[in-house]
Chains A and B, each alone.
Chain A
Amino acid sequence: MREYDVAIVGAGPAGMSAASQAAALGLSVVLMDEQPRAGGQIYRNVGAASRGRLDWLGPDYAHGRGLVEQLASAPGVTHLTSATVWDVSSALEVSYLQGGSAAQCRAKHLIVATGAMERPSPLPGWTLPGVMNAGAAQIMMKVGGAVPEGRIVLVGGGPLLYLVAVQLLDAGAQVAALLETSPKHNRRPAMRHLMGALRAPGYLIKGMRLLARIRRAGVAHHFADAEVAIEGGDTAEAVVFNAGGKANRIAVDTVLLHHGVIPNVQLTRMLRLEHDWDARQLAWRPRCDAYGVSSHEAISVTGDGAGIGGARAAECSGAIAALGAACRLGVIDASALQAKAAPLLAEHQAQLRIRPFLDTLYQPPDWLLTPTDDTIVCRCEEVTAGQIRDMARLGCTGPNQTKFFSRSGMGPCQGRMCGVTVAQLIAQTRGVSVEDAGYYRIRPPLKPIPLAALASMDETPPAG
C-alpha cells in the first residue's frame, strides 16, 4: 500500500490550497477527488473553461484558475482524479474507487476538504422534474455551457441565488421571478452584524451590484410570507405562494431552489469526529481548532466542510491546515508554524467577517427547516415529515432509530438529503435540542460501490 505524508480528500479551493502548501513544504501529498478536474464545485471545470465562459461566469469564478495552475505546478502532489473515497480506517488507510476498481493508500495525516452542499429544500413538490438546486443550474453553466429553457423561478435566499440569477440573465435566459423565502424578521438581528460585514472585503458591494442587475432586468421580486409549494404533474408547472398577504401562482418550466450551503459532513461523520450544531448556520460542523485539527489529532478538516465561510476563506484555511499538518509531522517547528500561518489566519478572519450578517439575514424559514407533514423529507425512500414526527412520538429519540423504523436515510444518497431535516424534526417533535436529537451514524461505504469491487479486496485464501 502506497504511503504519503498527507492525504487530502477534495480538490476544491481548500483541498487545492492545502495540497500546494503541503507540497511546498516538501511533504508527499495525495489529493483525491471524484471529479475529472481540480476545482471543486465552486471552481468546477475552471481549468478547461474558455475565455468566453470565464467572462460570462465572472471574476470570482475565474479566480479559481490560479489555484488550479498552482496545483498543477506543485511538485510532489499525486492528484487522483475521478477517485471516490469510500472508506478511511482508524489507521488512516484510505480506500477509494477509481475506474471501477478498488484501491488503497495510507497517510500519516488526513485533511478532509469535502466542502459544502446546498441545504436540501424540502418543500411540497421539490421532487418534481424541473426542480433543482440553483447550484445545480450553475454547474450546468460551468460544465455544460447551458441554461434552462423557458421560464425560470428562483426560490430561496442567499448570495448564490442572486449570482445564479445574474449569470442566467447574462446568458439570455428567461428569469420570470426571484422569490425570497428568508423571513423578514431576520433583518433586524442581521443589522447587528452590519458593521462586521462592512469590514469584510467586497462582499456587500458585490451583493448590491447583483441585486441592481436583477432589478434592471425587470425580474419580478417577491418575498414569501409562508410555505412555498411547487405544483406539477410529470414536471414542475407552477410555484404557489403568498406574498404581502396575496396569493400568487407563477407558471414555470424550471424552479431553482437555494437555501444556503451546509458542510458536507458525510466523511467527518463516518470518521466519528466530534460535531457541534451551529445554531446560526443551522448545520452540523466538525469541532476543529484554529489549524483545522479535529477531535482526532491526525485528521484536519478544512474549508466549507468545517463550517461555511466561502471559497476565499476555504483557500486560506486549506493552507493553514497544511501548515498545521507539517508541524505535527515535524517538518516545521512551532515558531515557523506561527510565523507562516499568521498572515493566513488574519486573512481567514477577514474573509469570515461577512458570515454573521449573511447567516442571520438568510437564515431559512421554519417551514423549510421543519416542513409540513405531507412534504417528502427523504427523497430516496419517500418518507414524509409526518412519518418522521410519528417515529419521534413512537419513542425514537434520534435519527438512527427513526431510520430503522421509517427507512429514512436508507436509500442510495445515504442520508445526505434528509439528515439535517430529520434531526430538526425529531428535535421539534420531542422538544429537545438538535444536538440532543443527534445525527445519523454514517457507515461505510461513503458512496455506494459495486459488490465486486469490495470483493476484489479479499485476501483470504479460498478454502478447498
Chain B
Amino acid sequence: MFREVDASRLDEAPACHIEVDGHKVAVREGEPLAAALLKAAVIPMRHSVVSGEPRAPYCMMGVCFECLVEVDGVPNVQACMTSVREGMTVRRQHGARQIGGQA
C-alpha cells in the first residue's frame, strides 16, 4: 500500500525482520510498526470488534486506535506507537481479543 521513495532521500536505517501472521517481513529497525506494516501491504490491519469490518491505520499518531495488533503475544497494541525490533512477532486480530490462552 505504501512504497519507500528514492533511497537517496532516506536515512537508511538497517533492515531487520519481523514475523507477521507467520510470514517473515523485512522492515527498518526502529520504525513504527504501523509504518512497516503499511509498506508490507498488511491490509486490513484488523477486523473490528463490533461488526468485523476491515480496518487500517487512520491517524498514525496514536489517537484513532485503528492499528491495534497483537505484538509478542500481547493483544491490542497500537502499532503506530510501537517501534519494530528484530524478531518481533505480530498477529492481526479478528474481532475481540482473547483473555488468557490463544484463540
Q: With A144-B31, A149-B1, A382-B50 given, is the CB distance from A132 to B58 under 8 Å?
A: yes
Which DSSP category, helix, strand, loop or mixed, fits chain B's interface? loop
A382's contact among B5, B51, B54, by CB below 8 Å, is which? B51
| Residues on the A chain within 8 Å of B20, using CB | none
Question: Does the CB pair A36–B83 fall under 8 Å?
Answer: yes
Question: Does the CB pair A132–B48 fall under 8 Å?
Answer: no
Q: With A36-B83, A129-B54, A234-B54 given, is the CB distance from A147 to B61 under 8 Å?
A: no
Question: Does the CB pair B61–A117 fall under 8 Å?
Answer: yes
Interchain nearest-CB distance for A132 vs B (Å) = 5
Question: Does the CB pair B3–A41 fall under 8 Å?
Answer: no
B59's contact among A132, A147, A412, by CB below 8 Å, is which? A132
| Residues on the B chain within 8 Å of A129, using CB | 43-45, 54-56
Interface flags for A259-274 (1: CB within 8 Å of B; 0: not) read: 0000010000000000
CB-CB contacts below 8 Å: A1-42 with B: 34, 36, 41
| Residues on the B chain within 8 Å of A131, using CB | 58
| Residues on the B chain within 8 Å of A380, using CB | 49-50, 65
CB-CB contacts below 8 Å: A291-328 with B: none
Question: Does the CB pair B38–A140 fall under 8 Å?
Answer: yes
A133 on the B face (CB < 8 A): yes
| Residues on the A chain within 8 Å of B45, using CB | 129
Question: Does the CB pair A117–B59 fall under 8 Å?
Answer: yes
CB-CB contacts below 8 Å: B1-21 with A: 1-6, 8-12
| Residues on the A chain within 8 Å of B55, using CB | 127, 129
CA of A132 to CA of B62 in the docked complex: distance in angstroms? 13
Interchain nearest-CB distance for A255 vs B (Å) = 11
Q: With A144-B2, A145-B10 given, is the CB distance from A133 to B58 under 8 Å?
A: yes
Question: Does the CB pair A135–B43 fall under 8 Å?
Answer: no
CB-CB contacts below 8 Å: A99-116 with B: none
Interchain nearest-CB distance for B75 vs A (Å) = 11
Interchain nearest-CB distance for A59 vs B (Å) = 15
Residue among B28, B31, B35, B60 with the highest chain A CB neighbour number at 10 A: B60
Interchain nearest-CB distance for A143 vs B (Å) = 6
Q: With A412-B76, A413-B64 given, is the CB distance from A235 to B58 under 8 Å?
A: no
CA of A53 to CA of B28 in the docked complex: distance in angstroms? 16
CA of A211 to CA of B83 in the docked complex: distance in angstroms? 35
Question: Does the CB pair A147–B54 fall under 8 Å?
Answer: no
| Residues on the A chain within 8 Å of B83, using CB | 36, 82
Q: With A52-B10, A55-B9, A143-B32 given, is the CB distance from A136 to B53 under 8 Å?
A: no
Question: Does the CB pair A135–B59 fall under 8 Å?
Answer: yes
| Residues on the B chain within 8 Å of A172, using CB | 5-6
Interchain nearest-CB distance for B5 vs A (Å) = 4
A145's contact among B1, B4, B57, B58, by CB below 8 Å, is which? B4
| Residues on the A chain within 8 Å of B43, using CB | 129-130, 235
B88 on the A face (CB < 8 A): no
Query: Which A residue's beta carbon lies closest to that of B5?
Result: A171
CA of A418 to CA of B6 in the docked complex: distance in angstroms? 37
| Residues on the B chain within 8 Å of A448, using CB | 76
CA of A147 to CA of B38 in the docked complex: distance in angstroms? 10
Q: With A129-B55, A382-B51 given, is the CB distance from A117 to B65 under 8 Å?
A: no
Query: Which B residue's beta carbon lies closest to that of A378?
Result: B50
Query: Which B residue's beta carbon lies closest to that of A236?
Result: B56
Question: Does the CB pair B50–A381 fall under 8 Å?
Answer: yes
Interchain nearest-CB distance for A13 vs B (Å) = 15
Shortest 5 CB-CB contacts between residues of A and residues of B: A129-B56, A144-B35, A52-B9, A50-B11, A136-B60
Q: Which residues of B contact A (CB under 8 A)?
A: 1-6, 8-12, 28, 30-32, 35-36, 38-39, 43-45, 48-51, 53-66, 68, 76, 81, 83
13 sample A-B contacts, Cβ–Cβ < 8 Å, listed by A number: A52-B8, A52-B11, A53-B9, A132-B60, A141-B5, A144-B2, A144-B39, A146-B5, A147-B3, A147-B5, A253-B1, A380-B50, A416-B63
